[in-house]
Structure 1
Amino acid sequence: MRKVGNLNVEIEFITDNIVRILYYYRREDFVDSSLVVLPNLEKIGLKSENISSSTLSFSSKSLTIDINTSNEELVIRNSNGEIVVKEKRRDLKFNDELSTYNVMQEFELSEGERLYGLGQHAGGNGLGQSSAYSLDYNGLSITLSQRNTDIGIPFLVSSKGYGILWDNYSLASISLKRNKLKVWFEAGKKIDYYVIYGNSIDDVIRGYRRLTGDAPLLSKWAYGYWQSKERYKSQDELVGVVKEFREKEIPLDVIVLDWRYWGKYGWNAFQFDETDFPKPNEMVERIHEMKAKLAISIWPTFGKETEVFKDMESKGCIIQGTTAFNPFKYECRELFWSYVKRFYDIGVDAYWLDASEPETGLGLVFFSPIHDADLGIGKGYEYVNAYSLMETKAVYEGQRRISNKRVVILTRSAFAGQQRHSAISWSGDVLGDWATLRAQIPAGLNFSISGLPYWTTDTGGFFSGNPETKAYAEIFVRWFQWSTFCPILRVHGTIFPKEPWRFPGEYQDVILKYIRLRYKLLPYIYSLAWMTYGNGYTIMRPLIMDFRNDQNVYDLDDQYMFGPYIMVSPVTLPSIKEKEVYLPSSEYWYDFWTGKKFEGGRTVNVKITLDTIPLFVRSGAILPLLGKNVNNAEEDWDVIELRVFPDKDGYFELYDDDGVTYDYEKGKYYIIPITWDENKQELIIGKKRGELEMGKKIIKIIWVGEGKGIGYTKPDVEVEYDGKESITMKKP
């Protein structure tokens, strides 16, 4: 501990490239524990510490921290002596009204530096409607606050290859103007933040996950198609929709039961009203017999007339002035899980934790009712942004204690560290119009680069148009095409139902084409999910993550990478026949639909039809696809189509496991390593790794070129593979 001005400072290296910086007045003012950062992290010692009259200096192998004791600036440099972070000033100002401190910091940024992350911010008034949008935050001010369609996460990522994670749960303001980054948190007894440095932005996200936890694999079916609406009003209607999907041979994995199934029992009573849901056990069994899964809506608030509310209130588990339960108390999380377990016990597969900002039982009011409440661990204003982190913790840890079945949670809010609770976030109750669709893309990209990998939207908007009209059908189709290349594919909305058969013929055909494309992509997507768990990967990737050396991509907010290979450029305007797409430099790119090759480092005009959006694949890609039609994600993947995109060496690991349990944590999986040697023109399918047994597979290989786009399915080579020996094939 050293002194900087009036504050004490502690420097602690977690790894050579992750450092914690802590300022405070008195150690006894706070408990040094975290809701976000994992406990008992292994740490390394300082490589060196030098103290002089003018400078405090601390270093690891990768970073050096110098604090000027005269002007109190803190500068972090990498091993080449280049400035990574410059903190100009900081302050803890006592707030008499709150009896704690306001936290303030100012950083100086480099010329041309861009900042990303901080959660999901689509603009607008909290219902997602905005005609202004941005990927990087240059010139903007962002409020980190939880509300419907807005998610605040105190983690930012720089184009220079570092990230900053603040361990603070209060309302915050982040302002970036004229190379000055100003940070303000409403409440904190300390300034506590981590700087994560890396050679790549993937290194930064990997470091964030080291601090806050890995993202477990979701059940395999979660990467398939989710059908939802507000709402299926009866057991017969819900089961009937699944039955119709099966009769029409449309792939489906998840059907969602929205609110008010509780009926006469009161708001969120954890009971089914027998009038409309007479036999919930049989309902779940019937859905499972049709090889689908059920997700159910659960709220954090309760009707005062319900037995749940009375039980919660009697045990001190209702936040004063609200009808919301208090997830910050261990015993209240346990009580909440005991009610959620009722659904687990009848076979419900996923939990939709709606309104987790939380709504407080007072309509669309999130912040103020909790602000001054006593939460047991402190005042509401100290913890208000972390509600969903603790609610998902209750459910995730509850199920993991009793079951080897994977947890799947869908929730409307998020906070740093929430990825370790198997949580998917969606963007909230957004409008179904072109402006909202356009704004959702950078919102989702910033959410993803905030370290939380699983994100989705109400495809077509929550407030839907009429699917029988061509004007809305076009919006929905373009939104659906984009959603196919999001981590989770899900349709939801109110007013009008949006099952595929509700749309006019030509639009319906496009929707079915993209549902089937999603299932064709599942081997690729599931392998990305493994990379996310095993290597801190990010599935939905702003172009800055893969092309930092190309400054043309720094503020491209309507293109992104879906995994390492597929570049997506959604269509977000009506009636257009072509779109400009930038192809990043130092690459060749293949048109996904035609196989035509383009040189990178330039903008191309791409022709668009109703059933296509611009999609490009990098040279060197080895794209594993499902080589047969399936109706759900759990059908056997015994036929694989490998599409090889030449002109560059390539490597990919195809992953699979049982899809439903946590046995993968114990090595029960298999990985098939696949290598393309451009010089030798050879494809090598290596011997499988992992402890899980694998049946024989038929592998169909296509070397992509012009005229051999995704619609071309005649293999150049077809082999039988059992994983026991490697196979080498020459390109014909």
Structure 2
Amino acid sequence: MKAHNTLVDLVDTALPLFGDPEREYDHLASLQRYAAVDGGIDAEVESFEGQRARVRLRFVTPEILRVQYVLDREPTATTPMLVGPLPGPPVVRVAEEEGAVTLAGPALRLRVERQPFRWSLLDGDGAVVAAQEVHDGPPNEYVSFPAGWSWRPDERPAFHETLALRPDEQLFGLGESFGALNRRGTRAVAWSRDTHGTSTTPLTYLNVPFFWSTRGFGVFINQTSRTVYELGYPSQVSCSFRVEEPYLDYFLIYGPSPKEVLARYWELTGRAALPPLWSFGVWMSRCMYRDTEQVRDVVEQLRELGIPLDVVHVDPRWLAERKHRLRDGCDFVWDREAFGETEAFVGWLRDRNVRLSLWENPYVWRDTPMYEEGLRRGFFARGPDGGPAPSLDNPREAVVVDFTNPEAVRWWQEQHRPLLRAGVSAFKPDYGEGVPLDARFADGTTGLETHNVFPLLYNRAVWEVIQEERGEAVVFGRSGYAGSQRYPLNWVGDTQCTWEGMAAALRAGLSLSSSGMPFWSHDIGGFWNPANPGQGPEPALYIRWAQWGLLSSHSRFHGVRGREPWWYGEEAVEMVRRFALLRYRLLPYLWAFSKSAVETAVPLVRPLVLEYPNDPTTHHLDSEYLLGPWLLVAPVFDPQGRVRVYLPAGRWFNFWSGDAVDGPRWLELTVPLERLPLYVRDDSLLPLGPEMTHVGERPWQPLDIAVRVSSGASLQIEGEGAELEAQARREGDGLVLELSG
């Protein structure tokens, strides 16, 4: 068997954007003419080589500018990423200046220089928010070409944009990243792949064509083809991106704060749905539970040990066909021999207050009745030969469902309905990264255009049928795209059971938080051990992972072989119980700020740069996070318990001891295995409910509120028998606390 090098997947994009000797390059050079339209201008711009391109610069809201560059092919009228029609454009006044045209809107002004063609976006005070870079290089040469296009012989053009970077400007987003949270100085390739772990290449499971700058703006590329980003690399003064399509269509989003940029990104791509409350409980899973006996044994042991549990997830072995196959596919046929009747299995779990989640993937096994039906009805993507397109993940055995075909979507959803009606609560839409380049789809697209967006279409289909059948929905998707926040949630893939893999899982999650995804999870304990795939993590690693995993948005234990705590010793059992019970005490807090998240786009798990964007230390901090606005969590990634914790400006309180510490400052700690660095922010009202072993076991009463207020704080709680509004403020030497509800 030949070993596979993941870097092979990067061959087509390995060269610098502007350093490919096989490419010809052209760029926009001079504004020839323009016409005022609603929201802006439509212009004709001549390129350096004498071609004419159409350029559209239109405000779609007072704070969002749409930029389109077109040669021959028009941008797609609608995309799956956008929700509904765009807002009506604001009133924009178009005027002439010497050598330039200006577009003045209610909040921003765009200045378009005629030659060289260059636009700059200015705020209400006249300060430049964002601008194109047209002078990156020595005279008459370029390190980064200005906006334009490039092509190889016998290939269609690919458009690029180049923006100017300030020396102190930092960049965040682009979806999941196992590398640094701060994307400045990096190169990224947006082409979703099964990375088989927390890869150190630019490839990842979940790409989002959206990033934001500490300068006060964000960029959302409204396209789906493979995209390459060079963000202050190799050039230090420019930020460039190239989309492999013969046009460019993106939105420039003004904040100026990162939180405002995220909220306005959601104006385009939609709000996140609120996952059901029970989904915030503990999920237990492994790859794979093989029969009813294994599942029952796990549930009964967890209940006997007093370890909270709300969901059991069963990976592919619930499918009768899976035991006969080498690799994964799907046909939705329940394995009665291993799991009995669906209703009886679900009923046994529900009698113990446990819900059931089931695995699936979007590839149908050949030689099954479902395959024959899909083939007959034309529900699969097509290959070059006209036959069903094989999945890249399992090309010999499985084919790709065509989620661009509405009838195929309904057919796929129908497979879920009997299981949902039998009581299944959730599905894990696994995979989704396996669309081949040469596939053809019902909507006229190829694999080049559909590969990246396919996971969004797939997750949407699954989430919507769950919502229709049960009135609430949550999925556990691995891949996704812009707009995936509408169908929560995602986990960060098959992380390695190593200390490095654990740190990479946090970086990936914080990167999702920075990309408009407010809810996410990870495999507590790691998925697989690269040194020995049959072994799990060492006990200390398992405990450290569980500590912050139980203080994440969603908490799921999962991996190859067992991830139940008793496999890792008595201390692991005690630590999991302790931190799981703490999680359930924090449910009122998690629920309050999850509801806030879907209204504001501020994620439940927050990189510190979101809360402290003006603190340069937070710009490179991806080893700790805020859970909601008031809890700072610092996971331990060192076997000896050593950890450096940064506390931003203000007063912080050690959660365990109550000791106060004033920031900004670094703490150098050695933490015993039973402790996790956890700090409570000043001006907070931290609600703590009763201990529970499953959601709904008892009302959130009594509800304790830890009041730490130097100036003021407010809190609103709704749910589980508790309705409370609390206001606290300092008046002189006294504290005023107002409660209602």
- Please indicate the TM-score interval, normalised by the length of the shorter structure: 0.7 to 0.9
Supply the AA of the counterpart residue of 1:144.
Answer: A
User: Does the CA contact (< 8 Å) of 1:227 and 1:490 recur in 2?
Assistant: yes
CA gap 1:634/1:86 in 2 versus in 1, 3 angstroms: farther
Query: How many Å separate the matches in 2 of 1:394 and 1:383?
Result: 15
Deviation per CA, 1:4-39: give whole Å up to 9, x if none.
33322223323221222222135x734411211112
Whether 2:102 is the aligned partner of 1:57: answer yes
Shift of 1:53: 6.4
Measured in 1, the distance between the counterparts of 2:151 and 2:442 equals 21
Residue segments in structure 1 that go unaligned for 5+ positions in a row: 123-132, 358-365, 659-669, 688-722, 724-732
| Equivalent of 1:221 in 278, 294, 310 | 278
Deviates more, 1:443-452 or 1:241-250: 241-250
1:3 counterpart letter in structure 2: E
What is residue 598 of structure 1 aligned with on the other side?
661
CA distance in 1, matches of 2:207, 2:528: 23
The 1:169–1:635 alpha-carbon spacing in structure 2 relative to 1, beyond 3 Å, is: farther
For 1:590 and 1:468, locate their aligned partners in 2 and report how far apart those are by CA, in whole Å: 42
Determine which of 476, 479, 485 is the counterpart of 1:410: 476
Aligned counterpart in structure 1 of residue 182 of structure 2, from 136, 142, 152? 136
Q: Work out the CA distance in 1 between the residues paired with 2:373 and 2:736.
A: 63
Residue 237 (structure 1) aligned to one of 281, 294, 298: 294
C-alpha offsets along residues 17-68 of structure 1, whole Å, 9 cap, x if unaligned? 1222222135x73441121111223223233222456222223222111111
Alignment check: 8 A CA contact 1:434 1:475 kept: yes
Looking at structure 2, the residues matched to 276 and 338 of structure 1 have their Cα atoms a distance apart, in angstroms, of: 23
Q: Which amino acid aligns with 1:41?
A: L
Secondary structure, in 3 states, of the residue corresponding to 1:644?
A: strand
Residue in structure 1 matching 2:728, options 650, 662, 676: 676
Q: Tell me if structure 2 keeps the 8 A contact 1:589–1:617.
A: yes
> 1:385 matched to which residue of 2?
452
User: What is the correspondence of 1:420-569 to structure 2 with a 5 Å cutoff?
Assistant: 420-421=486-487, 423-464=488-529, 472-494=538-560, 496-569=561-634
Q: Report the counterpart of residue 210 of structure 2 in structure 1.
A: 155
Q: Which residue of 1 aligns with 2:645?
A: 581
User: How far is 1:628 from its partner?
Assistant: 3.8
Provide closer, same or farther for how the CA distance between residues 686 and 16 of structure 1 changes in structure 2, counting only shifts above 3 A. farther
After superposition, give the CA deviation of every residue in 1:648-703 in whole Å (9 maximum; x if it has no partner): 31122223379xxxxxxxxxxx863211112253343443xxxxxxxxxxxxxxxx
TM-score normalised to structure 1 length:
0.85
Q: 1:114 and 2:177 equivalent?
A: no
Q: Which AA in structure 2 matches 1:139?
A: G
Q: Name the CA distance, whole Å, in 1 between partners of 2:510 and 2:645.
A: 17
Structure 1 distance, partners of 2:458, 2:736, is: 47
CA distance in 2, matches of 1:490, 1:393: 21
Q: Distance in 2 between matches of 1:316 and 1:197?
A: 44
In the TM superposition, 1:274-285 aligns within 5 A as 274-285=336-347
CA distance in 2, matches of 1:372, 1:466: 36
Secondary structure of 1:229's counterpart equals: coil
Residue aligning to 2:440 = 373
How far did 1:303 drift?
Answer: 1.1
Q: Do structure 1's residue 330 and structure 2's residue 406 form an aligned pair?
A: yes
- CA distance in 2 between counterparts of 1:311 and 1:519 reads 45
Give the counterpart letter for 1:415 in structure 2.
Y
The aligned counterpart of 1:180 is 238
1:537-570 deviation digits (Å, cap 9, x = unpaired): 2111111111122112111121221111111111
Q: Corresponding residue for 2:334?
A: 272
Amino acid at match of 2:447: G
Which has the larger displacement, 629-638 or 335-344?
629-638
Q: Is the 8 A contact 1:519 1:633 kept in 2?
A: no
Could you tell me whether the CA contact under 8 Å between 2:498 and 2:537 is conserved in 1?
no
> Paired residue for 2:249?
192
Where does the alignment leave 5 or more consecutive residues of structure 2 unmatched? Answer: 1-41, 47-51, 134-145, 196-203, 383-388, 391-398
1:46 aligns with 2:113: no
User: Cα 1:161–1:655, aligned 2, differ >3 Å: closer, same or farther?
Assistant: farther
Contact 1:21 1:194 in 2 (8 A): yes
For the residue of structure 1 that corresponds to 2:714, the secondary structure is: strand
**TM-score normalised by L of structure 2:** 0.84
Corresponding position of 1:85: 130
State the Cα RMSD in Å: 2.3
- 1:73 paired with 2:118, answer yes
Aligned length: 650
Residue identity in the other structure for 1:186? E
Q: Report the Cα distance in structure 1 between the residues aligned to 2:723 and 2:259, rounded to whole angstroms.
A: 21
TM-aligned CA deviation for residue 396 of structure 1: 2.6
1:102 aligns to 2:143 (yes or no): no
Contact 1:582 1:601 in 2 (8 A): yes
Higher deviation after alignment, 32-41 or 616-625: 32-41
Aligned match of 1:203 in 254, 260, 271? 260
The answer (yes or no) to whether the contact 1:522–1:633 under 8 Å persists in 2 is no
SS in 2 for 1:601: strand
Query: Once the 2 structures are TM-superposed, how far is the Cα of residue 647 of structure 1 from its aligned partner?
Result: 2.1
Q: How does 1:293-308 map to 2 (within 5 A)?
A: 293-308=355-370
Alignment-derived partner of residue 698 in structure 1: none
* 1:646 shift after superposition: 2.7
Could you tell me which residue of structure 1 aligns to residue 712 of structure 2? Answer: 649
- Give the match's secondary structure for 1:294: strand
Match of 1:13 in 2: 59
Match of 2:8?
Answer: none
Q: Report the Cα offset of residue 260 of structure 1.
A: 2.5
3-state SS of 1:531 partner = helix
Deviations 1:130-160 (A, max 9, x none): xxx3121222111111112512110101122
Task: Give the C-alpha shift of residue 636 in structure 1.
Answer: 2.1
Please give the alpha-carbon distance, in whole angstroms, between the structure 1 residues aligned to 2:534 and 2:706. 37
Residue 341, structure 1, aligned to residue 417, structure 2: yes
260-269 or 601-610, which deviates more: 260-269
Q: Distance in 2 between matches of 1:556 and 1:168?
A: 30
Contact 2:159 2:248 in 1 (8 A): yes
Aligned to 2:731, the other structure's residue is in SS state coil
Counterpart CA distance in 2 for 1:581 and 1:467 is: 33
Cα distance in 2, alignment partners of residues 208 and 378 from structure 1: 25
| 1:663-702 → structure 2 map (5 Å cutoff) | 672-679=724-731, 681-687=734-740
